[in-house]
Amino acid sequence: MTGSPALQDVPMGAAVSPSAARLVTMIVDTGTSLDLVFTLVAHHLLTEPRVDVVTIALTTFAPDDETGWTHLGERAWVNEWLSPTATCSILPPPGAGPEAALSMPWVSQRARRGVLTIADVDGLPPEADEDRREIAGFGISSMVVGTQIQDGVMFGSLAVGSTGAGLWPSELVADFRLLNAALTSRIALEQARHSLAEAVAVGAQSREGQQHFLASIGHELRTPLTAIIGYTEMLVEEAEDLDDVPFAAAVTRDGGVILRACDQLMAVLEDLLTAGRAVGDADLRTTVDVRSAVADVLHWHRTAARTAGVHLTSTVTDGQTVWAHPSGLRQVLANLVGNAVVHNGPQGEVVVSTESLRGESGEARLRVIVRDTGPGMTSEQLAQAFEPFVRFARPAVKGTGLGLSLSRSIAERDGGTIGAESRIGSGSAFWVELPVDPGRQHP
């Protein structure tokens, strides 16, 4: 029940018109522009002789075509459609500020709960005095109001008004409810698209800023490091000819330490710049043949593995693909295989395999696993493995401690994940999981 003589009860099961049902299919069809959807909804509602004015308000984004719309400050965009005989208008007069727009506090609060049907504005309760004055001031005597709300977020509103009081046809109210629900779904989708576009724009700006920062820091750090390396090498060469001078002997002894430290800093810098370029690149994902990528990576590490006495094997079969940046996948696998080799021992093995999985939404994914027979890791080490600058290798093993951290960034950039399993004495298995080529989602 409405609880007020001014409000009209219309059963939820009231029949809708066939034309409204057909219109819903156009509203939810994203091939129909939102501007056209608004016009079609307004024209349909205006076919009811009782309707003098239809208004639509947008509160979260501007219309694509602003022609005919009134911008009410930061509050909303409003448009109205009038019948040929209408003598009323809900739009503020030209030049008026946002304060001239309808606020209708009592009506707005109730319209948030569902479509509100007002048969006679003059019959509104005393607590709706402000609403009554506002509505009557625009020449409206009865109206139907609905809001587009989803998950507590209000996107806009739809209303029809009449200069005459009286009950509204049940079919009109049923059509209104249906069209308002369809508009809610469509506007929510458009809002999601706007939010995504903004996120992409922010991401692009962030990516550009990241690339600018990395280029700047690369120049600022590479130049002095190169100078230090050059001067140190020159001093060491000159000191080698002065073995009988104590200071020269110290330079010869410590010069190597300085050069190794500079080489380490240069390696860190190169890793940062390489990862920055990889993560900051535009989305150039494509179908990547996993067997081919693994073969390349194993070839790159063949000499190092042979020197360490480690045997490399792949069980990856033909036809397995992922959707990723080709260079990114190879870089991640190179880091995983490289770690597996250096953390292994003589007669050790590194085996690369794959496992087909399904994501949380049922989408096909492929996990590429790099398993070694090394000493394994503790749970504490495993928890820190993907943190930047964390190293567990022997001091003699070169590395920056950035490989796994950067691999995680690259995998996540391509919509994937990275992880590991390990036990002391049982080796480790590091894996990268990526989406399968969209064209192969349903084999």
Task: Please report, for the domain that includes residue 442, its CATH number.
Answer: 3.30.565.10
> Looking at this protein, which amino acid is placed at residue 164?
G
Whether 236 is covered by a domain: the verdict is: no
Same-domain pairing of 288 and 139: no
* pLDDT at position 271: 60
Q: Are both 186 and 317 inside the same structural domain?
A: no
Q: Is residue 93 part of a domain?
A: yes
Q: Which two tokens stand for residue 230?
A: 């050059």
Residues 158 and 289 in one domain: no
Task: Indicate if 187 and 302 belong to the same structural domain.
Answer: no
Residue 8, domain member (yes or no): no
Query: Does residue 185 sit in the same domain as residue 295?
Result: no
Total count of domains within the chain: 2
179 and 32, same structural domain?
yes
Residue range 287-333, pLDDT digits in tens: 999 999 999 899 888 888 998 899 999 999 999 999 998 888 988 99
Which of 147, 163, 191 represents a domain boundary (last residue)?
191
Q: Looking at the chain, how many residues does it have?
A: 443
Q: Are residues 173 and 70 in the same domain?
A: yes
- Distance between CA atoms of residues 140 and 55, nearest Å: 12
Tell whether 160 and 23 lie within a shared domain. yes
Residue 267 lies in a domain: no
Mean pLDDT of 260-286: 64
The answer to whether position 92 is within a domain reads: yes
By residue range, what is the domain housing residue 300? 284-443
- How do residues 105-131 score in pLDDT, each as one tens digit? 899 888 888 899 999 999 999 999 999
> Do residues 291 and 415 share a domain?
yes
For residue 351, name the pLDDT band (cuts at 50, 70, 90). Answer: very high
264 domain residue, yes or no: no
User: CA–CA separation, 431 vs 334, rounded Å?
Assistant: 12
Domain identity same for 187 and 293: no
Asked which of 136-145, 227-236, 270-279 is least confident by mean pLDDT, the reply is 270-279
Predicted confidence (pLDDT) per residue in 15-68, tens digit: 889 898 889 888 888 778 899 999 999 999 999 999 999 999 998 888 888 888
Q: Which of 129, 158, 191 represents a domain boundary (last residue)?
A: 191
Is residue 275 in a domain? no
Q: Write down which residue in 140, 168, 191 finishes a domain.
A: 191
For residues 290 and 169, state if they share a domain. no
Q: In which band, very low, low, confident or very high, does the pLDDT at 164 lie, cut at 50, 70 and 90?
A: very high
Query: CATH code at 49?
Result: 3.30.450.40
- Any domain includes 211: no
Q: Are residues 177 and 289 in the same domain?
A: no
Q: Which of 55, 24, 50 is nearest to 146 (CA)?
A: 55
Q: Is the pLDDT of residue 367 over 90?
A: yes
